[in-house]
Amino acid sequence: MTIVKWLIALISIGYLVGLVVLFFTQRSYIFPIPQKLRTAPDAAGFPEAEEHILSTADGESVIVWHVPAEPGHQVVLYFHGNGDYLAGLVARLRAITSDGTGLVALSYRG
């Protein structure tokens, strides 16, 4: 019977330790940080884009890639999803701008 009690105690302690670890690391699971935080458009293979950095009121920085629209074309405002980064979306961004459509793509604050 003593072995069963020790086994239950160890499993309970392990479970509680796991909960504590999850509590303190939950932001990294919900908001994963991409491996490449910042890559210039030229280095990413998208030289048509201009990079701008916006400063927010709370001190954060938001990276913006801008491709001007050709006359008569519209502009797409693009917000990528969580856990991605602008340089990883070059193929998609190039497809959007291939017909002269403009682009304003903002990085994810996190």
pLDDT at 74: 96
pLDDT in tens, 60-90: 888 999 999 999 999 999 998 777 788 889 9
Mean pLDDT, the chain, integer: 88
pLDDT of residue 75: 96
User: What pLDDT does residue 102 have?
Assistant: 96
pLDDT at 32: 65
Single-letter code of the amino acid located at 108:
Y
The pLDDT, as a whole number, for residue 34 is 60
Instruction: Please enumerate in sequence order all residues whose Cβ is within 8 A of that of 105, keeping only pairs 6 or more positions apart, or say none.
Output: 49, 64, 65, 66, 78, 79, 80, 86, 89, 93
pLDDT for 35 equals: 57
